[in-house]
Amino acid sequence: MAAETVSRRNVLKSLTMGAVAGSVLRAIPLEAAAYAHGVIQAEKANAKAGEYSPKFFSAHQYKTLRSLCETIFPADADCGGAIEAGAPEFIDLLTSENAEFQLKLGGGLMWLDSTCTDRYGNAYLDSSPQQQTEILDLIAYRKNAETDGDLGHGVDFFAFLRSMTSDGFFTSEIGIKYLGYVGNTFLTEFPGCPPVPGI
């Protein structure tokens, strides 16, 4: 990371020195800015992705978290899933820094395991696929907590995890592409709304 920052700064500095002749303003020209960002992106792409070791969750909890994230946003024909999107790493990082998240997610994962153990005799990951689906179908909908109050904790946990997984998925490179966001570019002119009947 340090090397990237330094090189980014150097690129921008050299561009800035050339650019400000004739202007006292602290600005660099458009082409230079575009070029510099291209350089940064190339550097990012070359950075090696190492094996991730969780900062907050235990190895077992993290394995469960990964499984749940991928179940919430699985890979399909159009695009990869939450694991490819880096959602578990993102959630672990934020949880390591936030006491409220630690209670909700750390506590929630333990609730899930103990509930599965009560119901099926095994922790969530060791339960059968049918059992996993059964418990998730119970905690994925608020209305189930209305009929069975014991599910309330699980429903809250799952709702929060679902929201955090959506954050991790849709802020990833594959998630953004999946949505069809095509901006963050340098345009010389804004084209406006494309012609579509009724708009």
Partner 1 sequence: MPNLNPPKKVYDVCIIGSGAGGGTAAKVLTEDGLSVVMLEAGPRLNPEKDFKEHVWPYELAHRGAGIGAKGRGQFNDEFLAPNGFWEIEGEPYTTAPGSTFNWFRSRIEGGRTNHWGRIALRFGEADFKARSTDGMGDDWPITYEELSPYYDKVESYIGVFGSKENVPNSPDGVFLPPPRPRCTETIIKKACDSLKITCVSSRLAILTQPLNGRAACHYCAQCGRGCLSASNFSSSQVMIPPAQATGRFTMIANAMAREIVVGKNGKAEAVSYIDKLTRNENRVYAKAFVVAASACESARLLLNSRSSNFPDGLANSSGVVGRYLTDSVGSNLGGYFPQLEKMPAHNHDGVGGSHMYMPWWRFGKKNDFLRGYHIEFGGGRGMPGVGEFEGVCMENEGYGVGLKQKCRSTYGNYIGFAGRGEMIPNEKSYCEIDPSVVDKWGIPVLRFHWQWGENEMKMAEDMQETFRNIIETAGGTVLGVSKRGQAPVDISDGGSIIHELGTVRMGNNPKTSALNRNCQAHDVKNVFVADAAPFVTNPDKNPTLSIMALSWRTSEYLLDQARKGQI
Positions in the binding site for partner 1 (CB under 8 A): 5, 8-9, 12-13, 16, 22-30, 33-34, 36-37, 44, 71-74, 76, 86, 90, 93-94, 97-98, 101, 136, 140-142, 159, 162-163, 166-173, 175-176, 178-194, 196, 198-199
Q: How far is the CB of 29 from partner 1 (least distance, A)?
A: 5
Q: Would you tell me how many other CB atoms lie within 10 Å of the CB of residue 28?
A: 18
Q: How far is the CB of 61 from partner 1 (least distance, A)?
A: 19
Residue among 121 and 127 whose Cβ is closer to partner 1? 127
Give the pair of three-digit tokens for residue 70. Answer: 């991928």
- The distance of closest approach from Cβ of residue 134 to partner 1 in the complex, given in angstroms and rounded to an integer, is 13
Shortest Cβ 87–partner 1 spacing (Å): 10
Q: What is the residue whose two structure tokens read 């190492």?
A: 50
Q: Residue for token digits 């809250």? A: 156
59-72 and 107-120 helices, crossing angle to 10°: 90
Instruction: Give the ranges where 20-128 is alpha helix by DSSP (H).
Output: 30-46, 59-72, 87-97, 99-101, 107-120
